[in-house]
Amino acid sequence: MKPKSIKQRLHLIYLEDSPMDVAIVRDILEDEFELDFVSVATKKEFENQLTTSAGFDIILSDYELQGFDAREALGIAKSCCPDIPFICISGTIGEENAVELLRLGAVDYILKDRMARLVSSIKRAIQEEKEKKKLDFAQQEIKEQNKELLKAKQKAEESDRLKSVFLSNMSHEIRTPLNGILGFSELLVISNDFQKREKYASIIRESCQQLTQIIDSVLDISLIESNQIQLTKTDVDLQKTFSYVHTMLSPDFERKGIQLVQNDIPNTNYVLFTDERKLTQILLNLIKNGLKFTNEGYVEFGVDETEKSYVFYVRDTGIGIEDAERKVIFERFRQADEGSARNFGGAGLGLPISKSFVEILGGEIWFKSKPGKGSTFYFTIPKTQE
């Protein structure tokens, strides 16, 4: 026995006021399709069906209807469901009307005495609609991809620009201490004055420290970029860490005439399980920035506690940060104002390194600032570590 072929499902609406014509069309289509056939005779019924029933595959319509015609029906169909193909079935309406209908968006026009064409016309219209949808989808995807590509291109260009700025900042940053080392070591060789020689030696030592610091920052950034940061967590006594930071930085503060205030730790048994080197480096970076961007007043640092985390803060009475610059200062190689930051020196690496370290330790970093009044940087270290 020949297997029964599976018929294609067809959900159609037929706008026709002659029951005889409805019966003929239904008869023709039933042989070919698994029909879900909706027949309507008036404009109102037509509008109702189109707005309330979902997903017709095709609209068939007579030309002359009660009080309106296929042009108007087509207008209604195009405004509420423009993707459903519309075929007009009618006696002769003249070439001009037929062409006008096609121009307005009907996909075909079938004469009632040529109904043999109906099935193939419907199949073609549905196939074309499917292909149009596929094409629309592909075009949409291409548009999205183009948007993504454009974004990636802009990002690459920006990152290229930032790296160039970074390189020029870096060479400036490296040249400054190097010049100090070269110049003062020459003076050291020729000078016999003990006091002067002591001063030159201390400048050379300081310049070496600056160079080491720059190299450390570049190494840190490259480890961060290649995801190779290793954590070594131990019990860290905050009192000791704070004292170390204070002792390390006090001479720099004294030299600039700015006070460095270490606030008391609220709980004397502050022992925290974290990476001590990273925590110390974050504090040093933030406090050094405080010193760098403060010409008068003080920098204070301390820690508070919430239920879930320790909240460290570094507050200064310095130049502050403009609103427009808020977003960029944690970005690699960025300085709030690439021009004026040159006056203060720095490679734009301290905050990105601090942010990466804070995040690796499971916390967050942010700041509050008022231009001209000062800034406070905060970061958290969670109490429960993974």
Nearer to ligand ADP, 56 or 293 (CB): 293
Residue 207 CB, nearest approach to ligand ADP (Å): 17
For the bound state, the minimum distance from the C-beta of residue 287 to ligand ADP, rounded and expressed in Å, comes to 9
Instruction: State yes or no: residue 253 binds ligand ADP (CB under 6 A).
Output: no
Please give the residue whose beta carbon sits closest to ligand ADP in the complex.
346
| Shortest distance (Å) from residue 177 CB to ligand ADP | 14
Number of residues that bind ligand ADP (CB under 6 A): 20
- Closest to ligand ADP by CB, 118 vs 291, is 291
Q: How far is residue 6 from each of residues 25, 122, 278, 305, measured CA to CA in Å?
A: 20, 17, 70, 72
Q: Quick one: 335 or 356, whose CB is closer to ligand ADP?
A: 335
Q: Which is nearer to ligand ADP, 12 or 321 (CB)?
A: 321
Q: Which residues between 272 and 291 bind ligand ADP (CB under 6 A)?
A: 289-290
The position carrying tokens 């803060």 is 313
Nearest distance in Å: CB 369, ligand ADP = 7
SS3 sequence of the chain: CCCCCCCEEEEEEEECCCHHHHHHHHHHHHCCEEEEEEEECCHHHHHHHHHHCCCCCEEEECCEECCEEHHHHHHHHHHHCCCCCEEEEECCCCHHHHHHHHHHCCCEEEEHHHHHHHHHHHHHHHHHHHHHHHHHHHHHHHHHHHHHHHHHHHHHHHHHHHHHHHHHHHHHHHHHHHHHHHHHHHHHHHCCCHHHHHHHHHHHHHHHHHHHHHHHHHHHHHHHHCCCCCCCEEEEEHHHHHHHHHHHHHHHHHHHCCEEEECCCCCCCCEEEEEHHHHHHHHHHHHHHHHHCCCCCEEEEEEEECCCEEEEEEEECCCCCCHHHCCCCCCCCCCCCCCCHHHHCCCCCHHHHHHHHHHHCCCCEEEEEECCCEEEEEEEEECCCC
Shortest CB 210 distance to ligand ADP, Å: 12
Site for ligand ADP in 311-370 (CB under 6 A): 316, 318-321, 329, 335-336, 341, 346-352
Q: How far is the CB of 181 from ligand ADP (least distance, A)?
A: 20
Kindly state the smallest distance separating residue 238's Cβ from ligand ADP, in Å. Answer: 22
Cα separation, 259 vs 188, in Å, equals: 32
Query: Please, which residue, 289 or 380, has the CB nearer to ligand ADP?
Result: 289
Judged by CB under 6 A, which of 166, 293, 301, 310 binds ligand ADP?
Answer: 293
Taking the C-alpha atoms of residue 259 and residue 257, their distance in angstroms, rounded to an integer, is 7
Whose Cβ is closer to ligand ADP: residue 62's or residue 316's?
A: 316
Residue with Cβ nearer ligand ADP (236 or 365): 365
Q: Closest CB to ligand ADP among 37 and 330?
A: 330
Helices 194-225, 118-190: inter-axial angle, 10-degree rounding: 160
Q: How far is the CB of 150 from ligand ADP (least distance, A)?
A: 28
* Least distance from ligand ADP to the Cβ atom of residue 265, Å: 22
Identify residue 28 by its one-letter amino acid code.
I
CA distances from 280 to 139, 213, 274, 277, 304 (A): 53, 14, 11, 5, 16
Smallest gap, in angstroms, from Cβ of residue 334 to ligand ADP?
6
Amino acid at 115: M
In the complex with ligand ADP, the residue whose CB is nearer, 299 or 303, is 299
Q: Closer CB to ligand ADP, residue 69 or residue 316? A: 316
Give residues in contact with ligand ADP (CB under 6 A): 289-290, 293, 316, 318-321, 329, 335-336, 341, 346-352, 375
